[in-house]
């Protein structure tokens, strides 16, 4: 259902063969149509619901699980020439570096099939190996303040990225052994936010379309369950961005009054 909805919307905004739209549309048309598609998908009343229903089929407990208030459609055309804010990848990172809760799980789903050239990559050997990174200089609350200022002053996302660069690996890890993800519509990949991963350059010929959702289990949060913190030094947390699956109530309402340390044993804000 989720894939069908995504495929229908993609065909509506990008043409009858959406995975090859970059070969038909000029740069301006492509970026504009992609932006329109992403807004429609993210705000479609059924998209997040379909994904949530798929999660429940995997055994996720809706009464104990929260999902993030952010539901993107990733569109990654081949090569570098069409890379803009809404089509850019993300370099090697752990989501923990961005101040998410330690027990967060990520769920990826494709809209169209993509193969190992699509650029979604995991580096599982780094599950227990620290990676030098820039997270020590990054605060989620500071980033949000700067984002609000940038929005108010009309600055671009690129300006903001320059002011407050997201945490990144300090090494390119040339000897890492990547696992390049291959997915078919109907597949879901679940992995811990502590896994090292990346959205690399798409070296194939077809556009990669995927969506994702992030979850926290309330009991994991309360009991501080989750992987050890190897190398995250960022400040703050994103717990306030989550809502309960079963009633949409803010996750914070469920843990009000509890003196919890969401992420690393070192909540510095």
Interface residue list for Fe ion (CB under 5 A): 95
CA 184/CA 186 separation, integer angstroms: 6
* Nearer of residues 52 and 210 to Fe ion, judged by Cβ: 210
Q: Say how many C-beta atoms besides its own lie within 10 A of residue 173's C-beta.
A: 18
CA 242/CA 101 separation, integer angstroms: 10
Tell me which residue has tokens 């980033």.
Answer: 143
Least separation in angstroms between residue 256's CB and Fe ion is 28
Tell me which residue has tokens 């949060």.
Answer: 221
Question: How much of the chain is in helix, strand and coil states, percent to nearest 5?
Answer: 35, 20, 45
Least separation in angstroms between residue 162's CB and Fe ion is 21
Least separation in angstroms between residue 38's CB and Fe ion is 17
CA 43/CA 122 separation, integer angstroms: 28
Least separation in angstroms between residue 100's CB and Fe ion is 9
* Nearer of residues 68 and 220 to Fe ion, judged by Cβ: 68
| Interacting residues of 81 by C-beta distance below 8 A, sequence separation 6+ | 27
* Nearer of residues 38 and 104 to Fe ion, judged by Cβ: 104
* Nearer of residues 68 and 95 to Fe ion, judged by Cβ: 95
Nearest of 174, 199, 183, 206 to residue 121 by alpha carbon: 199
CA 152/CA 136 separation, integer angstroms: 27
Which residue is closest to Fe ion by CB? 95
* Nearer of residues 48 and 68 to Fe ion, judged by Cβ: 68
* Nearer of residues 22 and 195 to Fe ion, judged by Cβ: 195
Least separation in angstroms between residue 226's CB and Fe ion is 16
Give the three-class secondary structure for 156.
coil
Least separation in angstroms between residue 193's CB and Fe ion is 7
């Amino acid at each position: 259902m989720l894939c069908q909805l995504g495929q229908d919307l993609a065909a509506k905004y990008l043409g009858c063969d959406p995975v090859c739209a970059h070969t038909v549309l000029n740069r301006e048309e492509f970026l504009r149509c992609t932006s329109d598609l992403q807004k429609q998908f993210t705000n479609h009343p059924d998209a997040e619901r379909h994904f949530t229903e798929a999660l429940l089929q995997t055994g996720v407990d809706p009464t104990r699980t929260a999902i993030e208030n952010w539901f993107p459609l990733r569109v990654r055309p081949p090569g570098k020439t069409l890379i803009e804010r809404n089509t850019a990848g993300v370099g090697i990172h752990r989501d923990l570096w961005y101040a998410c809760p330690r027990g967060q799980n990520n769920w990826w789903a494709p809209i169209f099939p993509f193969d190992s050239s699509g650029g979604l990559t995991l580096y599982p050997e780094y599950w227990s190996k620290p990676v030098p990174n820039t997270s020590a200089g990054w605060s989620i609350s500071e980033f949000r303040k700067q984002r609000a200022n940038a929005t108010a002053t009309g600055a671009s996302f690129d300006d903001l990225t320059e002011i407050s660069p997201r945490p990144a690996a300090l090494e390119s890890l040339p000897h890492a052994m990547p696992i390049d993800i291959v997915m078919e519509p109907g597949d879901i990949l679940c992995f811990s936010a502590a896994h090292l991963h990346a959205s690399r350059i798409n070296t194939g010929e077809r556009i990669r379309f995927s969506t994702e959702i992030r979850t926290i289990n309330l009991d994991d949060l309360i009991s501080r369950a989750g992987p050890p913190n190897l190398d995250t030094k960022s400040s703050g947390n994103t717990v306030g961005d989550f809502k309960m699956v079963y009633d949409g109530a803010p996750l914070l309402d469920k843990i009000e009054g509890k003196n919890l340390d969401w992420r690393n044993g070192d909540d510095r804000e």
